[in-house]
Amino acid sequence: MERLYRLEGLAVRRRGRQRLAVPRVPRPAAEVPNDTWGIDFVRDQLASGCRIRCGTLVGACTRESLMITVHHSLPSVAVIAALDAVIATRGQPVRLSLDNGSEFRSRAFDAWAADRGITVAFIQPGKPIQNAHIESYNGRFRDECLDQHYFLSLADACFHIERWRRAYNDERPNEACHPLTPSEYARTFQTSHQVRRSTQQWRMGGGTLKDRSVWAGRGQGDAARAGRPPLAPGGTVTRARRARSRTTERSARTTGR
Distance (Å, whole) CA 99 – CA 39:
8
Q: Which of 128, 116, 113, 138 is nearest to 58 (CA)?
A: 138
- Which residues touch 55 (CB under 8 Å, ≥6 apart)? 39, 40, 41, 67, 68, 69, 70, 74, 78, 79, 82
* Residue 107 per-residue DSSP state: H
pLDDT value, residue 9: 74
Distance (Å, whole) CA 28 – CA 37:
12
At position 240, the amino acid (one-letter code) is: A
Distance (Å, whole) CA 90 – CA 64:
11
Flag residues of the chain having pLDDT under 70.
Answer: 1, 11-26, 191-257
Residue 68 phi, psi (nearest 5): -135, 105
CB 151 within 8 A of CB 160: yes
pLDDT value, residue 209: 38
Distance (Å, whole) CA 68 – CA 86:
10
Average pLDDT, the chain: 78
CB atoms within 10 A of CB 219: 17
- Report the run of H or E that residue 159 belongs to, with start and end: helix 154-170
pLDDT value, residue 257: 52
Helices (H) and strands (E) in the chain, counts: 8, 5
pLDDT value, residue 141: 95
Global pTM exceeds 0.85: no
